[in-house]
Amino acid sequence: MIFLFSSIGTPSVDVYFSPENNVRSHILTVLGQAKKSVDVAMFSFTDRRLAQKMVAISKRLKVRVLLDPKNASDNPYSKAGYLSNNGVNIRYAKVMSVYGIEGIMHNKFAVIDGKIVLTGSYNWTASANSRNNENMLIIRNKRIGTIYEKEFSRLWKNGTKEIERKLPAVVRDRKQIEKQIGKTVILEGKIRKIRKGRSAAFVYFAGIARFKVVVFDMQNIPWKPGDNVRFIVLIEKSNRYGLEGIFQRQGQ
């Protein structure tokens, strides 16, 4: 732990590193000192103790939590549902999409009472506290707090109360697939053959030449040639492997 002391009017900064500094304990201490408000913008929020603390604080103060929509929906350990169900005001960030590929809300900061900022690489997760090499700064300064609060308010204003779910495009032939490179799609078709390699299985489809779906989890492949399937896949194209779909999960 490193303490940086400065003259009056300039920031006072505490610097912590995990896992050696038990960063979670310092977060809990600062949260316990909140008197008016707590605003949190966090990419991944899975830490049970921090979630419980936020619920307790929300009973007496203004609390807002902004989360990345994909992490909140895809991560089975996300505390988004727990927080929302226990009265914490939750929103999901509106992320940008460039060339059909969505970005993420990768911030990891909190603003306490508009004048204390917690920021760094540290996500609010158990692994960040106990396993990962992370850093976190606690900055006590009204001017810096105002800057972070302004950015939080911008993200909050553009956020949504529910996760906006866009249904992937449905593709059935090579021409449609070629238009979806870099995107996640629903692939429908009949399996022509399945070939197993050393580290992945390759599923080929009838009527789609020079294309395969790569399945890395080969523990249990329930399909066989002739099956009509509906896969959710990420379409990729490279000089080495050509056009292929990376299997994500079975489509409904």
Q: How far apart are CA 12 and CA 75, in angstroms?
A: 35
Query: Among residues 170, 171, 178, which one has the least CA distance to residue 244?
Result: 178
Enumerate the active-site residues: 106, 108, 113
Decide the pairing of beta strands 108-112 and 101-102: unpaired
CA distance 202 to 200: 7
Is there a contact between 16 and 26 (Cβ–Cβ < 8 Å)? yes
Q: How many CB atoms lie within 10 A of CB 164?
A: 9
Q: How many CA atoms lie within 13 A of 97 on its CB side?
A: 9
| CA–CA distance, 20 with 2 (Å, rounded to integer) | 12
Q: How far is CA 129 from CA 24, 25, 84, 248, in A?
A: 6, 9, 23, 29
Cα–Cα dist 73/75, whole Å: 6
Contact 231, 186 (CB under 8 A): yes
